[in-house]
Amino acid sequence: QKEVEQNSGPLSVPEGAIASLNCTYSDRGSQSFFWYRQYSGKSPELIMFIYSNGDKEDGRFTAQLNKASQYVSLLIRDSQPSDSATYLCAASNFGNEKLTFGTGTRLTIIP
């Protein structure tokens, strides 16, 4: 079992709808969680990070963390075709710089 698990998709969402991406982790020592976006043929780029239980909003993006359930999610509101990419979830332990990545969820926004 991988330490960070994601549904590989593909996930198809109509333009303007809410895209919901999910991630679970097995290491209870994980403290910080990161969402990276990766366009095809490009390198990952950070969208958001979260380390407190609850929601964190940044523009159209909301990250949600539930440590009791070991669950992290990313919501994208008003989805745009430019949001079509692979989304990588990653976790790290406090004081440890190492990130453990999930295999990613491929998201397609349908115009």
Judged by CB under 8 A, does residue 107 bind other proteins? Answer: no
Choice between 20 and 93, CB closer to other proteins:
93
Q: Quote the least distance from Cβ 16 to other proteins, whole Å.
A: 29
Cα 107 versus chain centre, distance: 11
Q: Judged by CB, which is closer to other proteins: 24, or 104?
A: 104
As measured in angstroms, the least distance from the Cβ of 43 to other proteins is 4
Site for other proteins in 39-98 (CB under 8 A): 42-46, 49, 51, 88, 94-95, 97-98
Q: How far is the CB of 69 from other proteins (least distance, A)?
A: 20
Contact 89, 2 (CB under 8 A): no
Helix or strand or coil: residue 81?
helix
**Long-range interactions of 41-48: CB distance < 8 A, separation 24+:** 44/88, 47/74, 47/87, 48/74
